[in-house]
A = this chain, B = another copy of it.
Amino acid sequence: MRDGLQSIATVLPTARKLAWIDAAYAAGQREIEVGSFVPARLLPQLADTAEVLAHAKTLPGLLASVLVPNFKGAERALECGADLMIVPLSASHAHSLANLRKTPDEVVAEVARIRAARDAAGSRTLIEGGVGTAFGCTLQGEVAEGEVLRLMQALLDAGADRVSLADTVGYADPASVRRLFEKARALVGERLWCAHFHDTRGMGLANVYAAWQAGITRFDACLAGIGGCPHAPGASGNVATEDLTFMLERMGVATGIDVAALLALRQRVAGGLAGETLHGALWQAGLPQNAASAALQAA
């Protein structure tokens, strides 16, 4: 939800967010990034993150995560008892300065402070270092694989429990995804937790498949493909959760998620986002209507 809602003009009322979380949970989702602890003047769309998080925490077995752009945000995540806080780092120095006003290594140092605060508080909130612009950057151009791997390792060394790699601006292709994720897995194993792709140039699902082949089994996505990056001109659309789930189920990968329920939820969410550009393909074509997909629809 977070990456979607922060990118659109609509400020979704809190009640609608809670209903979204409830329906996604009922459909089978067990990890949801519910918001971000940033100043409300910067992202009014996420000003109610504490309240949304409190609700998410009432759902048994749901891992409720939040984005925290800095130490101050992490303090709030710890106070509110988030299950997981995600600290974004941009492997592109130019993007890092523009987006976070810090160099990547300053973000690594911030993670060390966050880890110390977490430990001092005796909190069980997990820390994920999210390495963005891992496949290139609109500002800087190329981002060296070696630099991405170095920063990923530095985040873990600084105390992150896990890391993820993100194609923030839609520059990844399946070959580069497979190559980088295989190298990253070789370096840090299961602590490489998640892949985050945008569908900017139509390769979102191809990149998911490539990362899945490299051993990744967790993927970020947003219902209706909402989202993007305000600092990446032309970027549009996270991978759509419903399309991603359908692809994996169709491949025989059990996601635990009911695709038909997601499609119904998409329709309700879309109803509250009039005027926003939505994405995704499955909702237009619908689920396959025949014997081959009966098992899928019943699942």
Contacts and interface: CB of A to CB of B under 8 A. Distances in A.
Contacts of A236: 284-285
Contact of A206 (B142, B175, B176, B206): B206
Nearest to A210: B209
Copies of chain A in the complex: 2
A282 interface: yes
Given A206-B209, A235-B285, A247-B174, A290 B136 contact: yes
Contact of A291 (B142, B174, B210, B234): B142
Given A236-B284, A284-B236, A292-B136, A243 B173 contact: no
A173 B288 CA distance: 12
Contact of A171 (B199, B200, B282, B288): B288
Interface string A246-268: 11001110000000000000000
B205 A247 contact: no
Contacts of A250: 173, 175-176, 203
A138 interface: yes
A291 B136 CA distance: 10
Contacts of A206: 174, 205-206, 208-209, 247
A208 B203 CA distance: 11
A286 interface: yes
A292 B171 CA distance: 10
Given A206-B208, A292-B141, A201 B251 contact: no
Interface of A: 136-142, 170-171, 173-176, 199-203, 205-206, 208-210, 234-236, 240, 243, 246-247, 250-252, 280-282, 284-286, 288-293
For the complex of A and B, the 9 pairs showing the least CB-CB separation, nearest first, are A202-B281, A141-B290, A141-B291, A175-B251, A173-B250, A142-B292, A206-B206, A205-B206, A174-B209
